[in-house]
């Protein structure tokens, strides 16, 4: 069983991620992990922090001589800014004058709900953990999940569908999405360069006004065989597991599988993907004329591309802050502001890739098992043969 946790505060010493349940013998590609972390830091509209640090994954355990050994993997991501925060976030009792209070909760952030829940007089410790800095730790272990999936022939990538009201028209093909991946300069990770420029102009517009933007990303999992997940039990459905995984990311407020949202307003004949048959195909001879189901029917992957969209609300830290209340005096004041991103749709897409990869890797290991890659691959190939001869 694949299990994972993260720990760490946004400005603390480091983030740590634990991943347990990976089979032994998986080759670990360190530059790939660091490249994934770099991808999460990109995108037009990010705050200043991305410029001061470049994340690297420091593997502490579970990998020896370049391969997984079946024991839990711990990965550490140093926070390069820690030196400026050590006195503000001391582990031991510190100087109260050095603490950086967040005195008025930001509407839309975790500040007020978290302070009430944990009985904090202000919101510093709330945002330190609620912050999406945490998603970097998920990207590190998501990269390991991607390496496992790669051995099974599967790939997971994302692209940006919309930023504010600027939207890509039509569906992006796998080839288009794939072609974004090697870019050394990431703007808004949109497959249409003209729309991408319009998205950039939209970010510039809100930057000037001190506002922020949300948007939509799409994660596509390519070459996923039919049979991952099951309708047999509610919490084993692949759609449910993917929805929870993507929704668990900071600022994601809706998740769509395939054409889920427009399907609700369309007749069945316009939605369901007609079935055909030809002798050969990637997994079986069954074909579909389109993929409105987003690769999942009955909570089971059906052999088509898996398409999951995440809908992000706009960032809640505003340079032109909304109305709030002072925690101490209860007087009306403007909400707190500290250095912040303005638009994070491409980065959220990368973090969602990690969550989709971890989910698919978990489902694959449940189906194919194996304590070593040799065993997992043998089981996987046996299943592919079974599908071929169906």
Ligand X SMILES: Cc1cc2nc3c(=O)[nH]c(=O)nc-3n(C[C@H](O)[C@H](O)[C@H](O)COP(=O)(O)O)c2cc1C
What distance in Å separates the CA atoms of residue 242 and residue 248, rounded to the nearest whole number? Answer: 10
- Which positions ≥6 away from 157 have C-beta within 8 Å? 177, 178, 180, 181, 219, 220, 222, 353
Task: State how far Cα 369 lies from the chain centre.
Answer: 25
Tell me the CA distances in angstroms from 25 to 51, 214, 248, 374, one per residue in order: 36, 41, 30, 8
Contact 312, 214 (CB under 8 A): yes
Bridging pattern class, strands 3-7 and 14-20: antiparallel
Judged by CB under 6 A, the stretch of 57-65, 144-152, 154-162, 339-347 that binds ligand X is 339-347
Residue closer to ligand X, measured from CB, 63 or 352: 352
Among 22, 195, 348, 354, indicate the residue that binds ligand X (CB under 6 A): 348
Judged by CB under 6 A, the stretch of 172-180, 186-194, 227-235, 338-346 that binds ligand X is 338-346
Q: How far is the CB of 159 from ligand X (least distance, A)?
A: 15
Among 340, 358, 359, 365, indicate the residue that binds ligand X (CB under 6 A): 340
Contact 129, 181 (CB under 8 A): no
Q: Which of 303, 307, 284, 278 is nearest to 174 (CA)?
A: 307
User: If binding is defined by CB under 6 A, does position 250 make contact with ligand X?
Assistant: yes
Residue closer to ligand X, measured from CB, 28 or 110: 110
Residue closer to ligand X, measured from CB, 341 or 353: 341
Residue closer to ligand X, measured from CB, 139 or 145: 139
Judged by CB under 6 A, the stretch of 76-84, 249-257, 361-369, 382-390 that binds ligand X is 249-257
Q: What residues between 182 and 241 interact with ligand X by CB under 6 A?
A: none
Number of residues that bind ligand X (CB under 6 A): 20
Q: Which of 238, 358, 364 is nearest to 296 (CA)?
A: 238
Residue closer to ligand X, measured from CB, 213 or 224: 213
Q: What residues between 93 and 132 interact with ligand X by CB under 6 A?
A: 109-110, 130-132
What distance in Å separates the CA atoms of residue 371 and residue 366, rounded to the nearest whole number? Answer: 11
Q: What residues between 279 and 318 interact with ligand X by CB under 6 A?
A: 313, 315-317
User: If binding is defined by CB under 6 A, does position 79 make contact with ligand X?
Assistant: no
Q: How far is the CB of 204 from ligand X (least distance, A)?
A: 17
* Helix ranges restricted to H, 85-134: 111-118, 124-130
Three-state SS for 251?
coil
Residues that bind ligand X (CB under 6 A): 47, 109-110, 130-132, 135, 249-251, 313, 315-317, 340-341, 344, 347-348, 351
């Amino acid at each position: 069983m694949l299990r994972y946790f993260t720990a760490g505060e946004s400005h603390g010493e480091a983030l740590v991620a634990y991943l347990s349940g990976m089979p032994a013998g998986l080759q670990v590609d360190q530059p790939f992990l660091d490249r994934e972390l770099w991808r999460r830091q990109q995108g037009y509209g990010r705050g200043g922090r991305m410029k001061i640090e470049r994340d690297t994954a420091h593997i502490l355990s579970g990998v020896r001589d370049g391969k997984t050994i079946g024991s839990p993997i711990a990965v550490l991501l140093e926070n390069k800014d820690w030196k400026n925060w050590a006195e503000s976030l001391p582990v031991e009792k510190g100087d109260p004058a050095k603490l950086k209070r967040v005195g008025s909760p930001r509407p839309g952030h975790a500040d007020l709900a978290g302070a009430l829940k944990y009985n904090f007089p202000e919101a510093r410790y709330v945002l330190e953990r609620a912050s999406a800095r945490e998603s970097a730790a998920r990207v590190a272990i998501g990269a390991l999940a991607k390496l496992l999936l790669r051995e099974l022939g599967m790939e997971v990538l994302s692209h940006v569908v919309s930023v504010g009201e600027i939207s890509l028209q039509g569906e992006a093909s796998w080839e288009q999405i794939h072609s974004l991946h090697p870019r050394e300069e990431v703007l808004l990770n949109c497959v249409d360069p003209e729309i991408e420029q319009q998205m950039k102009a939209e970010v510039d517009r809100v930057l000037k006004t001190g506002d922020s933007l949300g948007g939509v990303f799409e994660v596509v999992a390519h070459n996923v065989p039919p049979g991952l997940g099951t309708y047999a039990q509610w919490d084993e459905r692949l759609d449910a597991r993917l929805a929870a995984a993507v929704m668990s990311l900071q600022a994601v407020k809706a998740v769509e599988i395939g054409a889920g949202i427009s399907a609700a307003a369309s007749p069945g004949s316009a939605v369901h993907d007609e079935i055909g048959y030809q002798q050969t195909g990637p997994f079986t001879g069954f074909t579909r004329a389109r993929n409105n189901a987003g690769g999942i029917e009955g909570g089971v992957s059906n052999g088509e591309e898996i398409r999951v969209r995440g809908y992000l609300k706009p960032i809640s830290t505003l340079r032109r802050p909304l109305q709030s209340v002072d925690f101490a005096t209860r007087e009306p004041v403007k909400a707190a502001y500290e250095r912040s991103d303005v638009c994070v749709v491409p980065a959220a897409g990368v973090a969602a890739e990690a969550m989709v990869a971890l989910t698919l890797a978990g489902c694959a290991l449940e189906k194919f098992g194996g304590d070593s890659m040799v065993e997992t691959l043998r089981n996987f190939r046996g299943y592919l043969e079974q599908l071929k001869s169906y």
